[in-house]
Chain A
Amino acid sequence: MTALVADKLIVKRGNATLLNGLSLSLGPTGSVAVIGPNGAGKSTLLKVLAGIEAPTSGRVLLGDRDLAGLSHATRAHALGFVPQQFDPHWDLSVDELIRMGAERGERVLQGAVDRVIADFELEALGRRRWSTLSGGERARVLLATVLVVDPPVLLADEPAASLDIRHRLGVIQSLAARGRERLSMVVVHDLDLAFSYFDRIVLVDRGSVVADAPARTLLEDPCLDAAFGVRFDRLQTDDGWLLRARL
């Protein structure tokens, strides 16, 4: 059974081809890291999978239904999307934000709001406004806002990229852990984090999937070096591998 399928996606913007006939099939559970060099098409892929951008051709299937044919509300309920950058225009409070996240479901479940506030340890932040939050707090609030309706599919675009290492670890771990029960697909820049915490790695380059394999298998594949244009030293540690890049 598959949860999300990308079928020969092509995305063109002006003269640029951002996705070039990309196909991908994702199960109902699992933690998937999307990696690739800058401009590979990772963010575009995530936005098309989330239904935020329409592909020039090709289609996305959610379950067995075409994403383009679903209502906005159904799609919003099924697909959680965490953007790379989130700057609300008005200075909302944490409570108001989470409430808005909850309102995209069929109805607001107070239990779900309370649960997500407990999960992300936001009890003390309720009345604080967005502008007063630290980077780590913002990341937690954003995740809570997206996950409050418990969407079956989560698509996250490097939500932890600008955080310090402790907060980045926390966010990446909780996103990967979500893959045990749901589908969690995350664009990850830090390759060591991707290989350490995710079951499956999708390597995207020039708008196509170059490799799609379990982390352990892909780690040894030379296509990794080719895609990033570097030579990786693969260093074994007690509980995994470290990648060191050389030009």
Chain B
Amino acid sequence: MRSWASLCLVLLLAIIVAACAGHDWASPGEVLRAIAGDPSLGARLLVDWRIPRVLAAALVGALLGLGGAVFQGVFRNPLAEPYLLGSAGGAALGATVALLVPLAVPQSVILPVLAFAGAWGATVLVIGISRVSGAVDAAGMLLAGVAVAAILGALRSFLMLALSDETVSLQIVLSWVLGGVQTPSWPGLGLLAVISAACLALTLLFARGLDMLGLGETMATSFGLNVPRFIMLAVLAGSVVVAAAVAFGGLVAFVGLAAPHVARWLMGPLHKPLLPASALVGAIVVTVADAIARSALPPAEIPLGLVTAVAGGPFFILLLARRLRT
């Protein structure tokens, strides 16, 4: 109980600090007055721009944490992360197409759709490959995922070289690939909130199966889990979560890797508490990282993915070191 309370409290603090942080720092009082309906221009800017952005960052972080917990549970590999199975590569490819190919549909609509389709398609491709080769286990999928991710990355680079005739569009693609939460409209934020809640509900359905899978595939089978089918469904669910995160936040590194570990330290390894806890940790991390991205080098904005990678890289090394020592 105490861990839950502290996690929620830390998230609340992070959101308040992030709402204050930015190009122009606001005091907590100004933020509260703006929420209460202060009609001044500064307050309107806070309500229309900064607060939706902060909440969107928290939700994207929650999705990343959730996706990471699902993927680490399925692959029972503490180094597994959502981007391992090519879903992020697929999303990036979809986004590149949306940004560089002139299409009749407005970019704000087509980018999330194509990113989502790319993530989904890549995951289905990975599952298909491992099925055809008869390796529908975690290791087989992991291998297929790494290969697909490499191919998709090369395709994206090729598209970027072949399709961008001006440096401007290349920069747009690059900033998206490096990660960054788009500032949503309030209805857009509502949609993201609904998607996030649905993702949490969806992944919680897999909590018990993920626990059983943690006993090893033999024991899980003897405990009544249809292991190949479960792995496939859980990977699909995980990629839905990742696709949503990527569509709204670009490619944000390391959060999906780190959040489940922190959550496991706090809550233990059972997935029913782990999944929501991992979402909370992810939300805290991305809220803070996004605040840093917005306010560290005004008026420029550092890509969010760079902030999380700079902070996450050392974490990853620490993790490896701990693992090698035991």
Q: Which residues of A pack against B, CB within 8 Å? A: 47, 50-52, 72-73, 75-77, 79-81, 83, 86-93, 96, 100-101, 103-104, 146
Contacts and interface: CB of A to CB of B under 8 A. Distances in A.
Contacts of A93: 268
B223 A100 contact: yes
Nearest to B226: A72
- The CB with the most chain A CB atoms within 10 A, among B208, B264, B269, is that of B269
B208 A83 contact: no
Q: Which 3 pairs between the two chains have the least Cβ-Cβ distance?
A: A76-B224, A90-B269, A81-B222
A89 B216 contact: yes
A238 B268 CA distance: 52
Contacts of B214: 88-90, 92
Contacts of A101: 223
Contacts of A81: 218-219, 222
B267 to A, nearest CB: 11
Interface size class of B (residues with CB under 8 A): 10 to 19
Contacts of A79: 222
Contact of A50 (B222, B225, B264, B268): B222
Contacts of A83: 216, 218-219, 222
- Interface SS of chain B: helix, strand, loop or mixed? loop
Contacts of B269: 90-92, 96
B197 to A, nearest CB: 26
B270 interface: yes
Contacts of A91: 269
A90 B264 contact: yes
Nearest to A82: B222
Interface of B: 76, 208, 211-212, 214-216, 218-219, 221-226, 264, 268-270
B224 A88 contact: no
B221 A52 contact: yes
Nearest to A89: B76
A93 B268 CA distance: 9
B218 A104 contact: no
B224 A92 contact: no
A234 B33 CA distance: 93
Contacts of B216: 83, 86-89
A1 B224 CA distance: 26
A79 B219 CA distance: 12
B208 A103 contact: yes
27 contacts: A51-B222, A52-B218, A72-B225, A72-B226, A73-B224, A76-B222, A76-B224, A81-B218, A81-B219, A83-B216, A83-B218, A83-B219, A87-B216, A88-B215, A89-B214, A89-B216, A90-B264, A90-B269, A92-B214, A92-B269, A93-B268, A96-B268, A96-B269, A100-B212, A100-B223, A103-B208, A104-B224
A91 B270 CA distance: 10
B270 A52 contact: no
Given A86-B219, A96-B270, 7 more contacts: A47-B218, A51-B222, A52-B221, A72-B224, A90-B269, A101-B223, A104-B224
Contacts of B215: 86, 88-89, 100
A77 B270 contact: no
